[in-house]
């Protein structure tokens, strides 16, 4: 609105109208967000599924705009005075985020109805969070990175507390808010120091400053370190992961499905853009910390997941470990490593959303399919769902020919090629550990329920749920079998990054 | 040392003491008052740093709106004393904290005395800004401090920046505010049907001391 | 006008406030005080931004400060809504007592 107005007045220095084209995907989704809020006021409670359909339409339209944008290389570049990058890197990540959000919207109505939580704000907030993630993925200035993180975080705080009369949900939201705010503080102080030491808030300017400076001040390095702490909180890498299990477990499962994947993907995109691309010149000063956090995440995540008795908590710790694997791609400075990380993000989205979607769809009335006991015997009543879940678990454990295997393969091989064999060995050793807990859940699904025990009341699979499961299954298999497709897309994304391709 | 510098020292002292007060006060309302004091003293520092608009916003939004919200919630909930917090002398962690504060502050101060990397480097942007300031037809003519290189902090400059260079962030904040407003309304709304959760599920509540039980909040959704 | 020698002093002050806020988040258990400590951290960030901006003669720091103020307000609104909701359902205001989960 302001934009059109100011452009009409002809204010000097106003961003060109062309920038609106570059912002198109975000604009479509923001329109959807506002429209859903307004329509919620006039929609009767019985027709709220229509809101889900509408949000799915907007997500699909945005996905379409993103795909068109992928081929629209003429417009690629920085917009809004270098604060927004319209490039293949951002669009690749946008694609992952939007596809994940679409799956979440598909499985949500059934789940929310069973839990008695079907309110229109849910979809608006999902779209709001998605807008924040897309902005974060495309952000090329510190201000937009911060605002993107906050937009997605504030939406997610509310979504975590969406079952706001339930104590678990309240607790989850409050914990997430407090630790999220704490992390934002670190991120911001880091940004303040980086801004102060380089004199810029845009990544282009920061990189130019760093290149011109040849030497780095301690305060700048402290700033970089604090920014990394802030990001590590958001991607839930150990030792900044303590909020993850509680928040994941307490939040409504459909929200957990959404946040466990999309937050990580979007924050990783920003992390790669800031660290692998902008701070590349100071790589030797921070790569040790990143590698250390990666190793700690892999070790703590996998070991803690072993002892869990709740599927949600197990997947939360497994997410910590997966963040560790992905961080290898940042700790190793080579284009292959970045591509490997991008591939891993896509694979992680497909398999993790799938696994959480099963938990969401099977959740009974008023309670979540959470404990290991409740998943026992799933295969005998819901063979297809159990088979899909088995596939996701295989993929998370890193078995070929699934997405997870190739994700790990690309990241580890990039590390080995770059001489960081220790990192790859830690990764391989901890993946071996992870097989135990993934298989444990798999075996539980295929073991008969104990005699004399009340069977768990699994929900019926809805049509939308089947579509969602089919899509995530297909995604996991396609990423595993037609590896080349996604790998070349990730390579194009890496090469097409503005302002500077990471590790080039 | 000029009189302005002296004022800055005094206000900085007030800011530090009130910041400590936020964390050390046993009563929540005192923490809130200390935070107001901290914000007001920061606003004075902003004025001294030639950031008039930010100082005004700090007072109006932060010390005004946000803190009023805090005080309102404190008055509504009446948390009184922090039940487990016995003041600074009883808690060894606070002494660790004080040492940490002292150490980190000293480090940052020592590093900052050397000036920033940016200011030591001969940078392109510096030249740009000098050229900008030298241009008399610029909006910079409304300089609070004519001697300074530019008038960073004057309202016109900020306004122009906000609608040109920082247009995108400015528009994102509008989305953020809608999300926060919708969220606050949703989270505090009473649902037409409270979920049928057994009261026994909230065992810790039973152990609460009686005087901290929320009498005014009882008629709301609650557990029972 | 403030002399430039005060730049490190104010940066040190911001570091002190930031650490005090961080200690508050870690030590205190009342969610309202934790939220206020987070506000303190964000205030420290604001001071650092304005201080650096003055030192560098760049207004970007002040714009960033405005953005931080907006975000802090948004976060405080949501945080206080959650706190009041927790309190409404009749629970003690204590971060550590929020442990329905963890089995």
Task: For C2-55, write each residue's pLDDT tens digit.
Answer: 777 788 889 999 999 999 999 999 888 889 999 999 999 999 999 999 998 888
**Taking Cα atoms as reference points, which of A162, A165, A164, A132 lies closest to residue A149?**
A132
Per the CB < 8 Å rule, is C76 touching B70? yes
Q: Chain A within 8 Å of B196 (Cβ-Cβ)? A: yes
pLDDT for B131 beyond 70: no
A75-101 pLDDT per residue, tens:
898 999 889 999 999 999 999 999 999
Q: Chain C within 8 Å of B149 (Cβ-Cβ)? A: yes
CA distance B35 to B47: 18
CA atoms within 13 A on the CB side of A397: 20
**Cis peptide upstream of residue A46 (ω within 30 degrees of 0):** no
For chain B, what percent of residues have pLDDT higher than 90?
33
**Taking Cα atoms as reference points, which of A296, A150, A313 lies closest to residue A237?**
A296
Q: Tell me which CATH code domain B1-86 carries.
A: 1.20.120.1200
A85 strand-pairing partners: A78
**In sequence order, which residues have a C-beta less than 8 Å from that of residue A474 and are 6 or more positions away?**
none
ipTM exceeding the 0.85 mark: yes
Residue numbers in C near B17 (CB within 8 A): none
Worst-scoring range by mean pLDDT, B88-102, B111-125, B164-178? B111-125
Least Cα separation, residue B182 to chain A (angstroms): 8
Residue numbers in C near B162 (CB within 8 A): 63, 66
User: Which CATH number do you get for residue C53?
Assistant: 1.10.287.3510
Per the CB < 8 Å rule, is C36 touching B70? yes
Identify the domain containing residue C40 by its residue range: 4-99
pLDDT number for residue B43: 95
pLDDT number for residue A4: 59
Q: Are A127 and A33 in contact (CB under 8 A)?
A: yes
pLDDT for B27 beyond 50: yes
B41-59 pLDDT per residue, tens:
999 999 888 888 999 999 9
Quick one: pLDDT band at residue B89, thresholds 50, 70, 90? low
Q: Chain C within 8 Å of B79 (Cβ-Cβ)? A: yes
Least Cα separation, residue A281 to chain B (angstroms): 15
Per the CB < 8 Å rule, is B147 touching C55? no
**Cis peptide upstream of residue A239 (ω within 30 degrees of 0):** yes
Count: domains in chain C: 1
Least Cα separation, residue C95 to chain B (angstroms): 11
More confidently predicted of A182 and C96: A182
CB neighbour burial string for A244-277, b if at least 16 within 10 angstroms, e if fewer = bbbbbbbbbbbbbbbbbbbbbbbbbbbbbbbbbb
Per the CB < 8 Å rule, is A164 touching B186? yes
pLDDT number for residue B189: 83
Residue numbers in B near A37 (CB within 8 A): 178, 182
CA distance C24 to B82: 13
pLDDT number for residue A18: 85
Q: Are A322 and A352 in contact (CB under 8 A)?
A: yes
DSSP string, A205-254: HHHHHHHHH-S--HHHHHHHHHHHHHHHHHTT-TTS-THHHHHHHHS-HH
Least Cα separation, residue C82 to chain A (angstroms): 6
CA distances from B161 to A145, A235, B154, C79 (A): 18, 32, 11, 31
Residue A460's region, left for phi above 0, alpha for psi from -120 to 50, else beta, is beta
Quick one: pLDDT band at residue A184, thresholds 50, 70, 90? very high
Global pTM value: 0.90
Q: Are A174 and A158 in contact (CB under 8 A)?
A: no
Least Cα separation, residue C99 to chain B (angstroms): 9
Residue numbers in B near C40 (CB within 8 A): 19, 22-23, 35, 38
More confidently predicted of B199 and A417: A417
CA distance A165 to A169: 8
Q: Are A353 and A104 in contact (CB under 8 A)?
A: yes
Helix (H, G, I), strand (E, B) or coil at B222: coil
What are the sequence ranges of the domains in chain B? 1-86, 89-139, 153-191
Distance, first Cα to last Cα, chain A? 38
Residue numbers in B near C92 (CB within 8 A): 83, 204-205, 208, 212
């Amino acid at each position: 609105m302001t934009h059109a107005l100011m452009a009409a007045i002809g204010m000097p220095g106003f961003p060109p109208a062309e920038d609106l084209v570059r912002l198109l995907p975000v604009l479509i989704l923001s329109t959807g967000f506002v429209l859903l809020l307004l329509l919620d006021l006039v929609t009767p409670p019985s027709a709220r599924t229509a809101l889900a359909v509408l949000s799915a339409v907007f997500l699909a339209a945005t996905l379409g705009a993103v795909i068109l944008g992928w081929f629209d290389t003429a417009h690629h570049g920085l917009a809004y005075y270098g604060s927004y990058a319209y490039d293949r890197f951002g669009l690749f990540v946008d694609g992952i985020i939007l596809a994940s959000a679409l799956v979440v919207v598909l499985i949500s109505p059934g789940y929310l109805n069973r839990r008695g939580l079907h309110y229109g704000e849910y979809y608006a907030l999902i779209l709001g969070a998605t807008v924040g993630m897309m902005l974060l993925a495309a952000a090329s200035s510190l201000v937009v990175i911060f605002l993107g993180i906050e937009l997605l975080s504030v939406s997610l705080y509310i979504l975590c507390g969406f079952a706001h009369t339930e104590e678990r949900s309240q607790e989850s939201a409050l914990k997430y808010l407090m630790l999220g705010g704490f992390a934002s503080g670190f991120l911001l102080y880091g940004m303040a120091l980086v801004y102060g030491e380089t004199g810029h808030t845009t990544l282009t300017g920061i990189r130019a400053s760093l290149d011109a400076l040849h030497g780095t001040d301690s305060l700048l390095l402290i700033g970089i370190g604090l920014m990394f702490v802030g990001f590590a909180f958001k991607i839930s890498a150990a030792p900044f992961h303590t909020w993850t299990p509680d928040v994941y477990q307490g939040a409504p499962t459909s929200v957990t499905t959404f946040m466990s994947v999309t937050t990580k993907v979007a924050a990783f995109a920003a992390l790669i853009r800031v660290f692998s691309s902008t701070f590349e010149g100071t790589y030797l000063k921070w790569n040790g910390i990143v590698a250390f956090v990666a190793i700690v995440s892999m070790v703590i995540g996998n070991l803690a997941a072993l002892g869990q008795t709740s599927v949600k908590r197990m997947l939360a710790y497994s997410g910590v470990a997966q963040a560790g694997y992905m961080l290898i791609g940042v700790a190793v400075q080579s284009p292959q490593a970045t591509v490997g990380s991008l591939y891993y993000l896509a694979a992680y989205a497909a398999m993790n959303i799938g696994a959480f979607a099963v938990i969401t769809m099977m959740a009974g009335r008023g309670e979540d399919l959470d404990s290991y006991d409740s998943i026992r015997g799933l295969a005998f009543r819901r063979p297809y769902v159990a088979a899909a879940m088995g596939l996701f678990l295989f993929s998370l454990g890193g078995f070929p020919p699934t997405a997870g295997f190739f994700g790990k393969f690309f990241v580890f091989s990039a590390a080995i090629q770059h001489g960081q064999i220790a990192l790859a060995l830690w990764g391989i050793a901890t993946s071996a550990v992870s097989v135990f807990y993934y298989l444990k859940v798999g075996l539980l699904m295929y073991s008969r329920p104990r005699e004399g025990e009340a069977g768990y009341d699994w929900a019926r699979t809805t049509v939308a749920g089947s579509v969602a499961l089919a899509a995530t299954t297909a995604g996991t298999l396609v990423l595993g079998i037609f590896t080349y497709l996604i790998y070349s897309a990730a390579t194009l994304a890496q090469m097409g990054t503005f302002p500077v391709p990471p590790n080039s | 040392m000029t009189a302005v510098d002296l004022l800055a020292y005094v206000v900085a002292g007030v800011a530090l003491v009130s910041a400590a007060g936020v964390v050390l006060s046993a009563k929540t309302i005192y923490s809130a008052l200390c935070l107001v004091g901290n914000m007001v003293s920061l606003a004075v520092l902003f004025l001294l740093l030639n950031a008039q608009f930010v100082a005004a916003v700090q007072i109006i939004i932060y010390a005004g709106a946000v803190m009023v919200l805090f005080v309102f919630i404190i008055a509504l909930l009446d948390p009184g004393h922090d039940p487990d917090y016995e003041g600074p002398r009883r808690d060894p962690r606070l002494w660790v904290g004080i040492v940490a504060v002292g150490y980190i502050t000293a480090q940052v101060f020592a590093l900052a005395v050397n000036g920033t990397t940016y200011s030591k480097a001969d940078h392109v942007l510096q030249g740009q800004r000098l050229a900008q300031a030298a241009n008399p037809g610029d909006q910079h003519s409304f300089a609070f401090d004519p001697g300074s290189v530019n008038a960073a902090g004057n309202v016109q400059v900020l306004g122009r920046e906000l609608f040109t260079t920082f247009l995108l962030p400015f528009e994102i904040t509008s989305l953020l505010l809608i999300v926060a407003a919708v969220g606050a309304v949703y989270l505090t709304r009473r649902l037409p049907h409270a979920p049928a959760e057994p009261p026994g599920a909230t065992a810790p509540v039973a152990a609460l001391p009686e005087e901290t039980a929320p009498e005014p909040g009882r008629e709301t959704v609650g557990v029972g | 006008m403030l002399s430039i020698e005060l730049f490190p002093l104010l940066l040190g002050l911001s570091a002190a406030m930031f650490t005090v806020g961080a200690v508050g988040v870690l030590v205190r258990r009342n969610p309202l005080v934790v939220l206020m400590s987070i506000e303190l951290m964000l205030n420290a960030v604001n001071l650092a931004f304005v201080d650096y901006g003055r030192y560098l003669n760049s207004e970007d720091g002040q714009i960033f400060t405005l953005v931080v103020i907006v975000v802090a307000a948004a976060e405080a609104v949501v945080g206080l809504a959650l706190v009041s909701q927790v309190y409404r359902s009749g629970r003690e205001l204590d971060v550590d007592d929020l442990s329905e989960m963890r089995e």
